[in-house]
Chain A
Amino acid sequence: MGRLKTIGRRAFLVGSTAVVGGVAFGFYLYKKPVENPLLADLGSDEAALTPYVKIDAEGVTLITPRADKGQGAYSVQAAMIAEELDVELDRIRVDPGVPSPAYWNRALADEAVPFAATDQGAMATAARGTVGAVMKIMGMQVTGGSSTVADGFEKLRIAGAVARETLKAAAAQKTGVAVASLRSQGGAVILPDGTEIPYQELAADASRIEPVTEVVLRQPEQWRLIGKPMLRVDTVAKSTGTLDYGIDAKLDGMVHAAVVLNPRQGGVLSGYDASAAKDMRGVKKIVPVTGGVGVIADNTWRAFQAAAAVECDWGPAVFAPEMADHWAELEQAFDTDPDSRGRDEGDVENTLGQTPLTSEYRAPYLAHAPLEPINAVVLIKDGRVDVWTGTQVPRFTQNNVAAIAGVEPEQVHIHAQMMGGSFGHRLEDEVARRCTELAMEMKGVPVKLTFSREQDFSHDYLRPAAIARMRGAVEGGTVKALDLAVSAPSVLTSQMAERQGMPMPGPDSSISQALWDQPYGIENYRVTAHRAQNMAPVSSWRSVGASQNAFFHEGFLSELITAAGGDQLEQRIALCTDDVSRRVLETVGEMSDWGRELGPDRGRGVAFCMSFGTPVAEVVELTNTPDGIRIDNVFVATDVGRVIDPVNFENLVQGGVVFGLGHAMNCEITISDGGIEQTNFHEYEGMRLYQCPQITVKALEHNSRIRGIGEPPVPPAAPALASAIFDATGVRLREMPFNKFVDFL
């Protein structure tokens, strides 16, 4: 027991350094150390020096609790620990660990408070601390909000340094050599005579001494890994087909399941007839699940076939049945009391005058559609539940599965799986819930549930459809007034309150995300958000509210700048109030040689958006060919303070641009009879390779805080494209997807 207590305190090292401020909700609880989850299964010769580093006879394992859905999270988390721990990335193992409050996400709190990312004032800082404390108490282990690097940058390096210094102290004690004379390199402590003692040989000793709490983090010029190109830990496996995703999980005796759910999303199952399906080959069981029917078979395809043969009687639609009704709901919401007024500066009403410029913009629903359909394996045996699934919310899933299985959350063991994309879909856990319902019918047998692509599409939780109504005035060649009103359903209410049971009182900042918090100094500037009701269930979609709001804000700003007779880039630079953002805008101008002659039938556009604290400016250049518009080039400048891995960084930025452009050009989800109409990629393509432009990326490092890059490149893509299309063709696009109005090559 003595040993457990000692190591228990070590967990505090990590927790305490991450804690800043300390307000509200009980100082004691807030400061109370969280239990180190690695201690539970530890062998006698193993040491868990922090919740992030585990050393056993096999070697060093780095715990990377933020989920990897393709963004390279495991690699960047491992790199941040390895930088200080002095281990090589190709010599360590990476493990996502188990769900634990020790892995709460503080950086996510930054997005949940009503202060702009550029606001470092006392009120904003205190508010972030308060929300952070709440998240810690709730054990919010969430991957989202582009927060993995922001949250881990100090925490994980400190974890590495604490482990390293404790190992060195153990080596000093063992050898009698002074700590100051010891070095560490390549997973070993090195004595002055060059003798190497591998960390594993020091693990048991290290666990018996007091940990070294005083650590000094290395300076950037001393870094071996951070900022230099690195080979992601998953690249080789992903290039040889040997990486197992959740859908590839193989367990002894496993059976395969499919579901057919009410196409009127959220509707009930009124009755069903499985007489044709039950005798089909390989079918083991057909049972009702929430909102539909599940088929358990010996093979996924047989389960799909049988599910299609079940005749179901579906309950009615639970929200407005037709798309026209949804647009009407959005329109009506403008007449309701605002959900928030994030910005109200100057005297908007009087400066707008009698004849303001007005515009209405629209954004459709969108699906996440990660290429790996959602899936889970659940095994219920002897009061214990094991879940293998790709998830961004392991703690929620643990609780939800426990409630269905009728066990305590501690009895639910989540085995986090690598994900074939997410874009926000794996912030939801409906597949784990449905699979648990099926596993309850097959206790002792592992049940794998794979959603067919059609079920995945038709039961996705969508990016909100939204409408913006905007007014503005220009004077003396510049923007004098900007009045933005937006109407959208609430992601927080739908996702957190309705599906996760976490009450979300107060305004939903995601409705006006990237509208109210942009670093523009417009004298008369107002942002009003309205909450639409009776819409389809909605969710966080890569870049959340910014994905549609940047199109609204930047699209209309472009119209105003055109009306003022100004240059799109120069005016944005002139209006910008944040030094870091201004440099990003200036840089994208230099990269694209803004203003040079483009030639006939060509056009360019620029857009800017700060989301999740990361400013991104993008320039799109295109050609209007006789066969349609061809996007030639995209230039991207951004600033995350510090780039961990420049290769992965460039890849993520390029991918974000493709994601933003592809959906703006080609994608919408529409509703009919209370259900989603699009069922597969033939009517929801995103972008394919032939439409992909050349994408040039430049990262600046002036941001005072380190920020994420998974989402921020998405929002500026649509408005930059719309602006370039206007430049080349004179057609002003105010609604996505653009292919309803113009042809693309």
Chain B
Amino acid sequence: MRPVLIKVLLAVVMSLPLPALAEIAVPDGPKAGTVARKEGLEAWERMFAVVSHPRCANCHVGPSDRPMWSGESYGRTRPHGMNIRAGESRIGAETLPCATCHIGENSDVAHSAPAVADDWRLAPVEANWFGQSAQTICNQLRDPELNGDRHYTEIAEHLGHDVILHWAWDPGGTREPAPGTLEAHIEDILIWGAAGMPCPE
């Protein structure tokens, strides 16, 4: 990484307030192997409704570095306006840091830039969800090569403490939140995992 980028990453972090203590405890969930495949697939269906929802998928754009604008509040599906490029840094450090606008607290003002107490950023390239099928996303999530080498309980943990993910259920303004609740989503991950991470054929 170029030295200039390190400089800006530092600046981004330094200019943000301390993260709010918003992490949530992740329950143990059912024991592995105690959940039937059918039940696991049902949990996956609910998980898919979340991960394919615009609040999540708009920033899970795979190899592209353009966040998307899709869903009810945007009218038509298109890349984020203003020619936004998150770059290789995934935080816009090469051109315009996401945090130039997505900074501070989440706002309820309609159409303002949402923010959380963490760097606003795109998801990793491997987590490619936007416009992808349930099968493709499911296979990504259970593939250690693509899921950050995480056991399913670690995926659940990740949901528990990464506050940018919590934003999906509290998006501010007039945005439609992701379906269900964060807690239910974590529970579904644990059920799906305990069923052996089944994916639709």
Contact = CB atoms under 8 A, between A and B. Distances in A.
A689 B96 CA distance: 14
A690 B111 contact: no
Nearest to B78: A743
Interface in B54-104: 75, 81-83
A617 to B, nearest CB: 30
Interface residues of A, number: 8
Contacts of A679: 111
Interface stretch (A203-211, A539-547, A680-688): A680-688
A103 B81 CA distance: 44
Interface string A676-720: 000110110100111000000000000000000000000000000
Contacts of A689: 83
Contacts, number: 12
Nearest to A689: B83
Contacts of B82: 688, 690
Nearest to B69: A682
Contact of B83 (A680, A682, A690): A690
Nearest to B81: A685
Contacts of B83: 688-690
Interface string A653-686: 0000000000000000000000000011011010
Interface string A274-289: 0000000000000000
Contact of A680 (B75, B81, B111): B111
Nearest to A743: B78
A301 to B, nearest CB: 11
- Chain B CB count within 10 A is highest, among A679, A682, A689, A690, for A682
Contacts of A690: 82-83
B-side interface size class: under 10
Contacts of A688: 81-83
Nearest to B83: A690
A374 B83 CA distance: 28
Contacts of A682: 81, 111
A679 B82 CA distance: 18
A371 to B, nearest CB: 15
B74 to A, nearest CB: 9
A685 B81 CA distance: 9
Nearest to B74: A682
A683 B174 CA distance: 15
A690 B83 CA distance: 7
Nearest to B113: A682
Contacts of B75: 683
B92 to A, nearest CB: 14
A555 to B, nearest CB: 25
Interface in A375-425: none
Contacts of B81: 682, 685, 688
A689 B95 CA distance: 14
B96 to A, nearest CB: 11
A346 to B, nearest CB: 46
A364 to B, nearest CB: 15
Nearest to B84: A690
A524 to B, nearest CB: 43
B173 to A, nearest CB: 11
A48 B81 CA distance: 53
A12 B75 CA distance: 60
A48 B111 CA distance: 53
A689 B82 CA distance: 8
B170 to A, nearest CB: 21
A421 to B, nearest CB: 19
A682 B69 CA distance: 11
Contacts of A685: 81
A373 to B, nearest CB: 16
Nearest to A688: B82
A710 B82 CA distance: 26
B126 to A, nearest CB: 23
A683 B81 CA distance: 10
A679 B111 CA distance: 10
Nearest to B79: A627
Nearest to A691: B83
Interface in B92-132: 111
A625 B82 CA distance: 19
A723 to B, nearest CB: 25
Nearest to A680: B111
A737 to B, nearest CB: 13
A682 B111 CA distance: 7
B44 to A, nearest CB: 33
A663 B81 CA distance: 16
A680 B83 CA distance: 18
A675 to B, nearest CB: 15
Contacts of B111: 679-680, 682
Nearest to B82: A688
A690 B96 CA distance: 13
A689 B83 CA distance: 9
B67 to A, nearest CB: 14
B139 to A, nearest CB: 27
A353 to B, nearest CB: 42
B122 to A, nearest CB: 18
Contacts of A683: 75
A679 B174 CA distance: 14
A318 B104 CA distance: 42
A679 B173 CA distance: 14
A682 B173 CA distance: 14
B87 to A, nearest CB: 15
A685 B83 CA distance: 12
A690 B82 CA distance: 8
B62 to A, nearest CB: 16
B60 to A, nearest CB: 20
A630 B78 CA distance: 16
A457 to B, nearest CB: 12
B66 to A, nearest CB: 10
A683 B111 CA distance: 10
A516 to B, nearest CB: 38
Nearest to B85: A690
A679 B110 CA distance: 10
A149 B82 CA distance: 36
A682 B113 CA distance: 11
A689 B85 CA distance: 14
Interface string B160-186: 000000000000000000000000000
A685 B84 CA distance: 14
B146 to A, nearest CB: 26
A683 B78 CA distance: 13
A110 B185 CA distance: 70
A369 to B, nearest CB: 15
Interface in A181-239: none
A688 B83 CA distance: 8
B75 to A, nearest CB: 8
A683 B75 CA distance: 10
Contacts of A680: 111
Nearest to B75: A683
A685 B82 CA distance: 9
Interface in A288-310: none
B84 to A, nearest CB: 10
A596 B83 CA distance: 31
A556 B83 CA distance: 33
Interface string B40-57: 000000000000000000
A739 to B, nearest CB: 9
Nearest 8 A/B pairs, CB to CB: A690-B83, A682-B111, A688-B82, A680-B111, A688-B83, A685-B81, A682-B81, A689-B83
12 contacts: A679-B111, A680-B111, A682-B81, A682-B111, A683-B75, A685-B81, A688-B81, A688-B82, A688-B83, A689-B83, A690-B82, A690-B83
Given A679-B111, A683-B75, A690-B82, 9 more contacts: A680-B111, A682-B81, A682-B111, A685-B81, A688-B81, A688-B82, A688-B83, A689-B83, A690-B83
Interface of A: 679-680, 682-683, 685, 688-690
